[in-house]
Structure 1
Amino acid sequence: MVFNFRVFKKQAPNGKLTMYLGKRDFVDHISGVEPIDGVVVVDNDYKDRKIFGQIICSFRYGREEDEVMGLNFQKDLHLATELVYPPPSDKQNFTKLQDRLMRKLGPNCFPFTFTLPPNAPASVTLQPGPEDEGQPCGVHYYVKLFVGENETDRSHKRSTVSMAIRKVQYAPSKQGRQPCTVVRKDFMLSPGELELEVTLDKQLYHHGEKIATNICIRNNSNKIVKKIKVMVQQGVDVVLFQNGQYRSTVASIETQEGCPIQPGSSLQKVVYLVPLLSTNKDRRGIALDGQLKRQETNLASTTLLASPDQRDAFGIIVSYAVKVKLYLGALGGELAAELPFILMHPKPDNRGKVIHADSQADVEMFRQDTMDNDIDE
């Protein structure tokens, strides 16, 4: 038994350039991002041409159907550019994937490696409405190889190959401090106060897990608590806009069990909520993890930053919080408490590798990616 690599393959429309990538999800470890490594196979007809590679971060912040009179709601950032062919004269350190592909694909195979800046925004898509058309708003990444005289040369669609990739983050290996808060409210011309204590069973949740919210209410006032509402709210901050922050409720439950809570009494109960994309289908503006074509996705993961100052202007910051509200009637008003938490995927094991027998045909090592070109001419 030997290790083989499953790769993604994409060819230019004219068949002269073929790109191979070992994976399309590249992990942001906060301190740095995994290098993007792959190879390109160059046809003999292009041996006298220059081939450049780029990593493009495409940030769409408005709908395509609203682009009129030259108005454009998309910005493309070139985060990395290098000359792929002719290859540099200095000796490079190849990855195992590159070394194996170069031996398999022959002398016309040339490696490339790109490095993303640590503060590059995560791949996030804002869910379009049912009637929306065109590319959804959000942050998208592409690896692009093209033929030109220099790196700023205009690329032509027939001699360009591009493949969508994602910049992702995975959950930390350790739990943080257990979230807990206590809020109190007193009332004018009324003695005593109403106290609400909210505790989560942990700080870090994985997608699909139940969130257990422990609620303790102590009513030392003369008001009556009539009902309780518990919500999971997703916060989205589009950094480009000063007023680009908004919240969406992605899971909620309203209950009168144990109510009304009379003066001098108390209540303790646990409420379970599971935030899922399946219960938020067709809701415009819900943040989703960046998705590749024909792949299912989920609610966007929490965005982890090394420091609050490392917020890229073209990024989308996602956060989550549990909010508990007590309703006291028209005269008593409301009392609310809020606890932030982290919602992410656990880090998978052995990503990008599969084991095959020695006798397996070489063609099974590759998986053809049949996506259409993602970047227009």
Structure 2
Amino acid sequence: MPKEDMGNYGPKLGVDWTMYTQVIVNLCLLAVHQSLTARHGYAVQPLGLISCQKAAQHITAALRVKCELSKIWSGPQSVTMSPKHVVFKKVSKDKLVAVYMAKRDFVDHCDFVDPVDGVIVIDQGQLKGKKVYVMLSCTFRYGRQDMDVMGVAFRRDLFVVTRQVYPELQDKEKLTHTKVQQKLLHKLGDNAFPFFFEFPDNLPCSIALQPGPSDVGKKCAVEFEVKAFCCENQDEKINKQSSVRLTIRKIQFSPENSKLVPVAETTFEFLMSEKPLHLKLSLPKETFYHGEPIPVTVEITNSSSRNIKDISVSVEQVTNIVLYSNDKYVKSVAKEETSDSVPSGTSLKKDYTLYPLLAHNKDRRGLALDGRLKHEDTNLASSSIVKQEVLKEVQGMLVSYKVIVRMIASGTIGSSEVSLELPFKLMHSNPEPAKEGESDDMVFEEFKRAYLKGVVYGSDDESPTEA
């Protein structure tokens, strides 16, 4: 808008442009005045400030001017931007195959699992009569990688399925199951071919056991991978230059939260004490979400002759390796130690709040995660849900959580520790289903996940260029 028009427009709105400019300048001075007052703890005399009441009157008028001017400058029509689809891609080193997928994480909703779908783009000029395959696999890894050379099983494939993508065995329309696939095929052209997989019901979710600093080469994880490759037949050795590996995650989301209120209570009897000690531990609900605080209610009725002290409340993660070994890892992921005491003949009821977060446990060895520690979107592993008629051994690893209250009961003839535990579930919240927009606009991003700053990649770790 020309300056002369602005001068004519101002009076129509009842705004003095000179005063409007003065208001802006004085607001800046007022902000500096308040900052100095807060920083130095004493009042700084403002210079040349108009009264706040007068400024407020003109701020209202100024905002009205801003609103009207935005209408004039933007024109009579308002444009609503359509949301764009984010599509992840990865290309082989020789540019022969490229994989496009709309997801990196696939959700187990308990009654169904999100299918794995995507599109492969092929450079047919380089194929030279070879075929193109795509494979979905679930693998359990346990031990050192050099154990394979020694003849000891380092890995076990829990699930593998391979499909031929090119030459086509079916029409593209029959293999296209989602709108995103349709849009990708339309955008990427005739050299794009769809693929589609469904997870069976008996597969575990992605879990990785965090190794310690000295555990070079060791790995314990349940991993899912999509691999695209080209060769004469699917059984021959795969050329890494002409293949694409994408590590995806299968994540357990929470079923509907039951109305069950978890409660545990017990009674302890001591030598030389006529009456017992009664403990009660309770939670407001059975399932908590990652990042959510966990309120724990502890009730102690001490009718015994002992004195209760050193009360602590903690959340422990229990990981059972059910395939290849019977190893068990128990790690505290949140703990509150108190100076509370309950003398003989008294009682205590108190609420404690715990925060089981990965951010507080990044240096802990043997901690189960739902991904890799170096990735920004990694959390503590969710509680394992074993479906009916599914063998536990097929899960590879089982993760559970419990709240434990511990205390010392001291007496004249010695002291003893008493404790009480209560299991609960820690999971991802179930988001609302995503709505597929009508827009064909897509944003292509590299498949690799964002990495945490300061992470050092060891020789056994994948490099930042890997999926």
Q: TM-score, normalised by structure 1?
A: 0.88
Shift of 1:73: 2.4
Distance 1:138 1:274, change over 3 A: same
Q: Does residue 125 of the first structure (1) align with residue 211 of the second (2)?
A: no
User: Could you tell me whether the CA contact under 8 Å between 2:203 and 2:394 is conserved in 1?
Assistant: no
Q: Which residue of 2 aligns with 1:56?
A: 137
User: Could you tell me whether the CA contact under 8 Å between 1:79 and 1:116 is conserved in 2?
Assistant: no
Q: Supply the AA of the counterpart residue of 1:372.
A: T
Structure 1: segments with no counterpart, 5+ residues: none
- Alignment coverage as a number of residue pairs: 367
Q: Hey, what's the Cα distance between the residues in 1 that align with 2:344 and 2:234? A: 73
* Worse overlay, 286-295 or 162-171: 286-295
Structure 2: segments with no counterpart, 5+ residues: 1-80, 449-463
Q: Does residue 92 of the first structure (1) align with residue 165 of the second (2)?
A: no
Larger RCO of the pair (alpha carbons < 8 Å, separation 6+) = 1
Q: Does residue 28 of the first structure (1) align with residue 108 of the second (2)?
A: yes
Q: Hey, what's the Cα distance between the residues in 2 that align with 1:56 and 1:199? A: 41
Shift of 1:350: 5.6
- Find the residue that maps to 1:100 and give its secondary structure: helix
Alignment of structure 1 residues 189-338 onto 2, 5 Å: 189-257=272-340, 259=341, 261-291=342-372, 294-307=375-388, 309-329=390-410, 331-338=414-421
Percent identity, please.
Answer: 40
Shift of 1:282: 1.6
Distance 1:135 1:81, change over 3 A: farther
Q: What do the CA deviations read for 1:251-281 (whole angstroms, capped 9, x no partner)? A: 1122222x1x222211111111111112212
- Find the residue that maps to 1:98 and give its secondary structure: helix
The equivalent position to 2:447 in structure 1, one of 366, 369, 374, is 369
Distance 1:86 1:116, change over 3 A: same
State the structure with more CA Rg: 2
Greater share of residues in helix: 2
Shift of 1:97: 1.1
Q: Supply the AA of the counterpart residue of 2:174.
A: Q
Q: What do the CA deviations read for 1:137-187 (whole angstroms, capped 9, x no partner)? A: 211111011112333222111111111100001122334411111100112
Shift of 1:48: 3.0
Q: Hey, what's the Cα distance between the residues in 2 that align with 1:354 and 1:65? A: 48
Q: Does residue 80 of the first structure (1) align with residue 80 of the second (2)?
A: no
Shift of 1:72: 5.0
Q: Hey, what's the Cα distance between the residues in 2 that align with 1:285 and 1:346? A: 25
User: Could you tell me whether the CA contact under 8 Å between 1:59 and 1:74 is conserved in 2?
Assistant: yes
Q: Supply the AA of the counterpart residue of 1:83.
A: Q
* Worse overlay, 181-190 or 101-110: 181-190
Distance 1:249 1:294, change over 3 A: closer
User: Could you tell me whether the CA contact under 8 Å between 1:6 and 1:352 is conserved in 2?
Assistant: no
Q: Hey, what's the Cα distance between the residues in 2 that align with 1:160 and 1:172? A: 37
Q: Which residue of 2 aligns with 1:116?
A: 199
Greater share of residues in strand: 1
Alignment of structure 1 residues 328-367 onto 2, 5 Å: 328-329=409-410, 331-349=414-432, 351=434, 365-367=443-445
Distance 1:232 1:113, change over 3 A: same
User: Could you tell me whether the CA contact under 8 Å between 2:329 and 2:366 is conserved in 1?
Assistant: no
Q: Hey, what's the Cα distance between the residues in 2 that align with 1:26 and 1:85? A: 25
Distance 1:309 1:76, change over 3 A: closer
- Find the residue that maps to 1:187 and give its secondary structure: coil
User: Could you tell me whether the CA contact under 8 Å between 2:300 and 2:349 is conserved in 1?
Assistant: yes
Q: Which residue of 2 aligns with 1:37?
A: 117
Distance 1:176 1:133, change over 3 A: farther
Q: Hey, what's the Cα distance between the residues in 2 that align with 1:255 and 1:3? A: 50
